[in-house]
Amino acid sequence: MTSTPSADLNTGRPALWPGVELHVVSGKGGTGKTTVAAALALALARDGKRALLMEVEGRQGIAQLFDVPPLPYEERVVAVAPNGGEVWALAVDAEEALLDYLELFYNLRRAGSALRKMGAVDFVTTIAPGLRDVLLTGKACEVVRRSDKSAIDAYDAVIIDAPPTGRITRFLNVNAEVSGLAKMGPIRNHADLVMSVIASPRTAVHLVTLLEEMPVQETVDGIADLRANDLPVGGIFVNMIRPDIVSEPLNESVEAAAITAALSSVGITSSSINLGQVLIDEGNDHSRRTALQSRELLRIQETGLPVIELPFLTDGVDLGGLYELAQVMTDSGVR
C-alpha cells in the first residue's frame, strides 16, 4: 500500500522524506516526543492512508493523548486522519514480542509459559543486555516488511515513539548491541534482519527539541552519534515555539507610567500593584526567551537537516491540538 508522493496536491512543497516507511521519533525527555509522534502519525495518514503509531516504553502516553483506553498488544484504530485515513496504534510489550518471535521463527509459542516459569522470559526481556531492544525494534521491522508482500495489514507509514535521545543510538543499533553478546546464532541473525530495515533509506530518525540550550545541545550530539553509527537521520521537530507577540521592541525608554495610563484609558487599573511595570517585566522576560529561541534555532538550522517548527499550544495538548500540529507538519511537506 505504498502511495505515490505526487498523489497529494495539498501543498506545493516537495515531500520531505520520500520512500521512508519507518519514522523513529526521539528527543530529550520533556520535549514532547510522544505528542510529536502522534501528530506525525496523523499527518502521514491523511488523504486515505494508514499509519501505525507504536509505543515501546510501556507508558501508555498514546492512549492518554488520543483519550482512549490503555492500548493492548494489538493493532487498533485510535483516530481518523484529516481528509480520510486511519491512525492505528500498538503498545509493544517485550514479553509478547518474544512470544511472537518464537512463534514466527520456531513455531514455539506454547513453550512461552514454561519459559516464563523458569525465569527465562524475564531474562530475555529485561536482563540480557540488548535483547529487549532487538525484540522491540524487531516488531517494528516485521510491520514495515509487510508492505514487501503487499499484505492486507500493511501500513503506509510506521511511527515509533522511541526512547529518548540519550538512549536512541543504542536502541536502534541492535547489531552492535548484541554483537558483544552473540557472535553468531539466531539472535545475531535476527539482529541482522532488523538492521537491514533500520539502517536503510526506508527509515528516518527524527529528533524533537525545544529551543533551549540543553535540549538543543543534546540534539546536536544525538545527530552526530546517529551519523557516526550510520543510522539515517530524518529531520528536527522544534516543539513549543513561543510566538513573537510583542511587535515593538521593548527599549528602556518605555515608561511604566505610559503603559499604566494606556491601561486606564480602557478601564484597567489596580490600586495594589504597578500594572504598567508588571506588563513591562513580563514583556522583557518574554523578549529574553524569544532572543534565546532565535539563537538556538540558528544552531538547529546549522545541522542542515529539515526543520519543522511547531507552535507552543497555550491550552495544552488535547486532540484538537494534535490536529493543529499535524496541519503544520503537512504544510511543511510531511506526507
Rank residues 76 and 288 by Cβ distance to another protein and give the closer one: 288
Of the two residues 192 and 281, which places its CB atom closer to another protein in the complex? 281
Q: Which of 15, 275, 307, 328 binds another protein (CB under 8 A)?
A: 275
Closest CB to another protein among 5 and 129?
129
Give the interface segment with another protein, choosing from 8-16, 38-46, 166-174, 302-310 (CB under 8 A): 166-174
CA dihedral 116, 121, 122, 127 (to 10 degrees): 160
**Residue 184 within binding range of another protein, rule CB under 8 A:** yes
* Shortest Å, Cβ 314 to another protein: 5
The dihedral through the CA atoms of 179, 182, 186, 187 has a sign that is negative
Contact 171, 223 (CB under 8 A): no
**Residue 18 or residue 30: which is nearer to another protein going by CB?**
30
Q: Are 160 and 34 in contact (CB under 8 A)?
A: no
Kind of pairing between the strands at 76-80 and 86-91: antiparallel
Query: Could you please report the per-residue DSSP string of 220-247?
Result: HHHHHHHHHTTPPEEEEEEEEEPP----
**Which one of residues 163, 234, 235, 321 is an interface residue with another protein (CB under 8 A)?**
163
Among 196, 281, 298, 319, binds another protein (CB under 8 A): 281
- Residue 77 engages another protein in binding (rule: CB under 8 A): no
Residue 182 beta carbon to another protein: minimum distance, rounded to whole angstroms: 5
The dihedral over CA atoms of 74, 70, 210, 222, expressed in degrees to the nearest 10, equals: -40
315 binds another protein (CB under 8 A): yes
Asked if 222 touches another protein (CB under 8 A), the answer is no
Which residue's CB is nearer to another protein, number 199 or number 292?
292
| Nearest alpha carbon to residue 202 among 23, 70, 16 | 23
Residue range at the interface with another protein (CB under 8 A); choices 66-74, 145-153, 288-296, 297-305: 288-296
The binding track of 244-263 with respect to another protein, each residue x by CB under 8 A or -, is: -xxxx-x---x---xx-xxx
Residue of 72, 84, 186, 201 interacting with another protein (CB under 8 A): 186
Please tell me what DSSP assigns to residue 146. Answer: G
Task: Determine, following the binding rule CB under 8 A, whether residue 69 of this chain makes contact with another protein.
Answer: no
Quickly count: other Cβ atoms within 10 Å of residue 169's Cβ: 21
Instruction: State yes or no: residue 272 binds another protein (CB under 8 A).
Output: yes
Of the residues 63, 120, 193, 220, which one makes contact with another protein according to CB under 8 A: 120
Task: Choose between 189 and 301: whose C-beta lies nearer to another protein.
Answer: 189
Q: How far is CA 132 from the centre of its chain?
A: 20
Interface stretch with another protein, choices 17-25, 84-92, 229-237, 285-293 (CB under 8 A): 285-293
Q: With contact defined as beta carbons under 8 Å apart, do 75 and 174 qualify?
A: no
Name the residue among 5, 17, 64 with its Cα closest to residue 200.
17
Length of the chain: 335
